[in-house]
Structure 1
C-alpha cells in the first residue's frame, strides 16, 4: 500500500543560511535563539525567526510552526515584501512536513502572489516547485508534474544547475510513484551522482532513500536494504531525528515485504519514538500502520487491531482521507480473523463509501484544475501583451529623443523626410503588436480546443463506457438483487459528471458568451431539474432591461452557472421546497443573481460549513463580487450574488 512508505520529494532551499552549516543542530538552534534575543531591529528579528522556523523542522515541527506563525505576524507589520514572502514560504514548509497540506498550499500561494509582484524570477519558480511538492504529497501527480516542468525549464534556461537538480529529484519521485521504475531509477541515479560529487551528503541521503524504494518495489530486497542503511547512517551523523525516523519506517516496510515481521517491528518502534519526539504526526501514523501490518502477519490480531485503530485516529486528525480509506480496507480482514463479522462488514462498507466520495472529489478537482490552467494561460498571455506594449513604448520614446537631436543637427530641410520615417516606424510597431495579439489569441483558442476535445473524447468516452458496463452488470443474476441500487447510484453520478463536463466544454469552446446564452443554459438546467424532481415548481425570470447580447469571458459565465447549480442542489438536498425561483437583474449597472426557495431554511451560524457554501463564496470572490445568504428556519432561503459595475 502506498501509505506504508515515505518518499523524499525535496524542495528548494532558497534561503538556507550557509554560514551555519558547519555547526551541529543543537548548537545552531541555541545560537539562533541568542541572536533572536539580541536582534536590534524587527527586520533582523524576522530573518532570525525565518532561520529558526527552517531549522526546527527536523527537531520539532510544532515549534517550527510556532516560530513560523510568529514570523508571519511580524513580517506583516514591515514594509518589505521579500521578508513577508519568505515568512510565508518557511511556514508552508513546516506545515508540509507535518502533513497539513491545506495550510502548506495556502501559505505557498501567498508567497507566490507577493513574489509575482516583486518580479524575482528565481524565487517565483522556487515557490512554484514547492507548490508542486505539496501537490505531490497530496497524490495529485499531474498538477505536481506541471509545476515541476515549468520550473525545470526556467532553471535549465538560466543555468541554475543546483535548483534544476532539486526539480529533477522530485520528477524522479513522481515516476517512482507512477511505478515507472526504469525511468525513475535513471533520473534519480543522475541526481545522486550530482549530489555526491558536490559533497551534499544530506541531499544525497534523501535520494538514496528513493532509490532504495525502487529496489524494494522491484523485489531486489538485498540492494534496497543496503541503500536504506547507507542513507540511515548519513541522517544519524547529521543528527536529523525526523529523517532518521522516516528511514526507520522505510526499513520496517522493507522487512514487512520480506515477511521479517520481528525485524520490522524493531525498526518501526525506533522510528515511532523519534517521530513522537519531533512531532511528526503524519509519519507517526504511517509507522503505526506498519506495526499493525507486522502484527497481522504474525497473526497477533489483537495488537494489529490496536495499532490500526491508533493509525486510523491519527490519519483522521490529519484529514488524510486516502490513508483513512486504506485503514478501513486493511482492518476488515483483522476483524474477520477475530471472529467479529459485523465489524468486518462495517469497515468494508466504510471503505466503499469513502472511496466513492474520494472518486467524486477527484473528478471535481480535475475539472477545477482544467479551469485554473485555462485562467493561468489567459493571465500569462495578458502579461506577455503588457510587456510587449511596454517595450514598444520605450522603443518609441528613445527613438523620438534621438530623432529630435538628429533633426536639430541636420536642419529644417531633412525634417519632413525624417517625420515620414518616424510615422512608418510607428505603423510597423503597431502592426507587430497587432500581429502578436492575434497570434496569442489563436494559440489560446487552440489550447482551449485541445483541452475540450480531450475532455470529450477521453474522459467523456470513459464515463459513457462506465455507464454501459454498469447497465450490463444489473442483469448479472448472482448479484443484481443486492447491488442494483448501488449500480444505479454510480450510474446516475457518472451521468451527472458527463453533464458537468459538457458544461465545462461549452464554456471553454465559447471564449466569450452572451447574456442570452447564459440565460438559456440556466433555463435548460432548471427544465432538467423539474423533470427529474417531481412536485417542485422551477421558475426563471430575466430582467427585460438586460441586453441579451452583452458578453462576458466564458470562465465568468461558468462561475455564475456553477453558483446556480450549487444553490439549487443545496435546496433540493436539505430544504425540501415546493418552489424555486431564479432571477437575473441589474441595478445601477450591478449584476444581480438571486436563487429563492420556500423550503425549511436554516440558521447559517448553526450550519456546518461544507464545500458547497465555501465553493459558492469562493466563486463570488473570483468574480469580484459578493455572496449573501438570507435564511431562517421555516422561512425559506435566498442566495444573492452581486457583481458591482459589471453591466455599467
Structure 2
C-alpha cells in the first residue's frame, strides 16, 4: 500500500480546471518552448527554463531534470540570487518526484541558503516546508515534523491558509506513516473538506489516496476502494501520469489482499505504463511486485518468478530493504512450487538474514535510548548531590557565626547541640544519596527488563514461528526428501539466532561481563562469518587482558556492535581476502583494531550511511574515539580506543 506524500509548492499556482488540465499543460509546454526560442535576454531564458522544469514534472521527470540543470547554469552565470534560488527549488522538486532524495535535499538547501541571504521570508518558509517533505519521503519523521511546525506557525500568522493546508496534509500523512490512524483520519478529512470547498481537485486526489489507505488499515475495504477510485478519476481527468500510476498501485494492492487477482493484474499493468512514462522508478517496482503476487495466487508460477526477480533487482537499486525482505519471503514458496529447492532455501536464508539485520538496528535504537535516559538520570542525581552539599556548607557557615556571637552565653551546651545537628544532617545527605542511587538503579533495571521482555516476546517469537514453519515444510510432498536437509540447515540458523538474541538479553540484564565472555562472543561471530564467506579471519586478544578484566554490560554491547558493523561493512563493500581483529590494553586505554586488505574507499567522496554514524556514536557513548583510515586499493583500518574505566 503506497502512501502518497504531498509537499507544498509556493512558487507557482495552477489555475487549470480538472477537465482541461491535460490539454492545457501540453499547450503551456509548447508555448514555453516557443518563448524559450524567442527569449532575448539570459534573464528571460532562466525564468522560462524554471517554468519548463516545474511543468515537465507532471509529464516527464527526466526532461524536467534536464531543464532544471540548464536553468541553474544560466542563473548562475547571471549572478541573480532570486532566479538561482528558484532554479534550485524547481530542480529539487523534480529530483524529489524522481525519488532521488539526496539530490533533492541538496538543491532545496542551496535554495534556502540563498533565500536567507536575500531575506525573502515567504520563500524561506516555503523551502523549509519542501525540505520537510524530503525528510518525510526518507522516513525521517522527526526532522520532517520539525520543519513543518516551523513553517506552519509562519503561514498561520500571515493568514496564508492555502500553504497552511498543505502542511496540515503532510502532518496528517506523518500520523498515517506512524500508524496513528485515528489522528491521521481526523486531520486528513478536514484537509479534504477544505480542498473540495476550494475546488482544489488535484490536491484533493492526493488526500483521497491517503484516506483510502487509512480505510484499508481500519478494515473497511469497500470504503477504501470507493475512495481510491474517486482519486483515480480525478488524476485521469487531470492527466497526471505519476500519481495516476501510484493510485493504480494502491488499487492493485487492495485487490490482491482480497484475492481478486485478475483485477489486480489489470490495474497493475495499466499503472506500469504510466509509471514508466513518468519515470517513477519506485512505483514501477511496486507494481511489478503486485503482478508477481497476483500470478502466484493464480498459480502461474513461472510468470510470478519472473516478476519477483525484477522486483528484487528494483528494490535493491532503491535500497528499499523492508520491501526486499518481503520479496524474499514471498519468493521461497514460488520456487518450491517450481521444484527448485535450492533457490527456495536460498531466498528463505536471505529473508532471515535481512530480518536479523533490521532487528539488530531496532535493538540498537532501543539500547541507545536506554543509555541516554540513564545518563540523564545520572546527571540529575549529581546535581541534587551538589545542591545538598551546598546547603550543608551554608548551614555550617551560619551555625558557626551564631556560635561565635553567643558562645560566651551558651558555651558547651550549644556546641554539643551543633555537633548533633551536623551529624543528623550528614546522615540525611547520605540517606538521600543512597535513595537516589537505588531509585536510578531500579529505573535502569526496569528499562532493561522491559526491553529484554520485548526482545524475547517479539523477535524471539517470530524466529520460533519461522523454525516451526520450516519444520512443517519438511513433510510436504513431493519434495520433502529433497529439501529436508535444507530446511534443517535453515532451522539451525534460526535457532542460532535465538541463542545470540538470548545472549544479548543476558548481557543487558548483567551488571558486568568479563573479557573472556566478550572474546568468546566475538570469536563465534568471526567463525560464523568465515563459514559464510571466502574470507579468512584472524582474531587476537592481548595476554594482559585476562579473564578477571571486567566491563559494564552496556559497554560490552557497544564494543560488540561496533565490531559487527565494521565486519559487515568490510564483507559487503570491501571484497577483502583477510580480515584481522585485535583487542589489547595500552596506556590505561582499551583498543580494538579491525583491518582488511580490501579495495578501500575515499570517505570524502561517499555519502555516509547509518553504519559509520552509528559506529562513531557508539564510540562517543563509550567515552572514546574511533578512527577510520582507508585508501583505495590498500584496505581499511578501524581503530577504537576507550578508557579502561568507561
- TM-score per shorter chain, which class? 0.5 to 0.7
Q: How does 1:132-281 map to 2 (within 5 A)?
A: 132-281=132-281
Q: In structure 2, do the counterparts of structure 1 residues 197 and 31 end up closer, same or farther at CA, with 3 Å as the change threshold?
A: same
Q: Does the 8 Å contact 1:530/1:538 carry over to 2?
A: no
Matched, 1:7 2:25: no
CA separation in 2, counterparts of 1:105 and 1:128? Answer: 11
Aligned equivalent of 1:109? 109
* Match status 1:90 vs 2:86: no
> RMSD value over aligned CA atoms?
5.0
- Answer yes or no: is the 8 Å Cα contact 2:326–2:351 preserved in 1: yes
Residue 433 of structure 2 is matched in structure 1 by none
Q: Which runs of 5+ in 2 are unaligned?
A: 372-439, 472-490, 523-538, 545-557, 571-577, 618-625, 642-646
1:418-464 per-position Cα deviation (integer Å, ceiling 9, x unaligned): xxxxxxxxxxxxxxxxxxxxxxxxxxxxxxxxxx99x9799766444
Among candidates 485, 489, 492, match of residue 496 of structure 2: 485
How many Å separate the matches in 2 of 1:461 and 1:370? 11
- Residue 233 of structure 1 deviates from its aligned partner by 2.1
Cα distance, 1:142 vs structure 2: 4.1
Structure 2 partner of 1:130: 130
**2: CA distance, partners of 1:108 / 1:538:** 54
Shift of residue 298, structure 1, vs aligned partner: 1.8
**Equivalent in the alignment of 1:294:** 294
Instruction: Quote the residue 2:331 is aligned against.
Output: 331
Q: 1:484 to 1:69 in 2, by over 3 A?
A: same
Deviations 1:294-314 (A, max 9, x none): 222222222222222222222
The C-alpha deviation readout for 1:395-422, integer Å capped at 9, x for no partner, is xxxxxxxxxxxxxxxxxxxxxxxxxxxx
Partner of 1:16: 12
Deviates more, 1:37-46 or 1:235-244: 37-46
Secondary structure at 2:214's aligned position in 1?
Answer: helix
Query: Is the 1:601–1:631 Cα contact (8 Å) retained in structure 2?
Result: no
| Bigger Rg, structure 1 or 2 | 2
Partner of 2:383: none
Residues 638 and 228 of structure 1, relative CA distance in 2, 3 Å threshold: closer
Alignment of 1:256-405 (within 5 A): 256-361=256-361
Once the two structures are overlaid, the 10-residue window that deviates more, 50-59 or 351-360, is: 351-360
Distance 1:567 1:114, change over 3 A: farther
Alpha-carbon offset, residue 191 of structure 1: 0.8
Partner Cα separation in structure 1 for residue 505 and residue 200 of structure 2: 50
Change (3 A) 1:577 1:361: closer
Is the Cα contact below 8 Å between 1:566 and 1:612 reproduced in 2? no
Give the match's secondary structure for 1:40. coil
Which stretch shows the higher mean deviation, 288-297 or 179-188? Answer: 179-188
CA shift, 1:603, in A, is: 5.5
Counterparts of 2:89 and 2:505 in 1: how far apart (Å)?
A: 39
Ranges in structure 1 where 5+ consecutive residues have no aligned partner: 372-451, 503-523, 540-561, 585-592, 620-625, 642-648
What is aligned with 2:540?
A: 535
- Residue deviations 1:81-134 (CA, integer Å, cap 9, x gap): 443333333222222222233333333333344444444443333333323323
Per-residue deviation, residues 118-174 of structure 1 (Å, max 9, x unmatched): 444433333333233233333344443343333333322332211111111122223
Do the aligned partners of residues 613 and 110 (structure 1) sit closer, same or farther apart at CA in structure 2, a change above 3 Å counting?
farther
Contact 2:211 2:227 in 1 (8 A): yes
1:633 to partner: Cα distance: 8.1
Larger mean Cα displacement after TM superposition, 191-200 or 565-574? 565-574
C-alpha displacement of 1:254: 2.6
SS at structure 2 position matched to 1:535: strand
Query: How far is the alpha carbon of 1:492 from its aligned partner?
Result: 5.9
CA contact (8 A) 1:85 1:115 kept: yes
TM-score of the aligned structures, taking structure 2 as reference length? 0.64
- Structure 2 CA distance for aligned equivalents of residues 80 and 370 of structure 1: 50
Query: 1:576 corresponds to which residue?
Result: 580
CA deviation map 1:350-402 (0-9, x unaligned): 1221223234445667999999xxxxxxxxxxxxxxxxxxxxxxxxxxxxxxx
Tell me, in whole angstroms, the C-alpha distance in 2 between the residues paired with 1:90 and 1:498: 53
| Equivalent position of 1:465 in the other structure | 453
Aligned positions, number: 501
CA 1:576–1:466 in structure 2 vs 1: closer, same or farther (change >3 Å)? farther
- On the 8 A contact 1:20/1:28 being kept in 2, the answer is no
Partners of 2:460 and 2:25 lie apart in 1 by 63
* Offset of residue 345 of structure 1: 2.3
In 1, distance between residues paired with 2:543 and 2:63? 55
How much has 1:12 moved relative to structure 2? 0.6
TM-score, normalization by structure 1: 0.64
Indicate conservation of the 8 Å contact 2:282/2:318, yes or no: yes
Mapped to 1, the partners of 2:460 and 2:14 lie a distance apart of 64
Q: CA deviation at 1:490?
A: 3.8
1:361 & 1:306 partners in 2: Cα distance?
31
Secondary structure of the residue aligned to 2:355 is helix
Identify the residue that residue 56 of structure 1 maps to in structure 2. Answer: 56
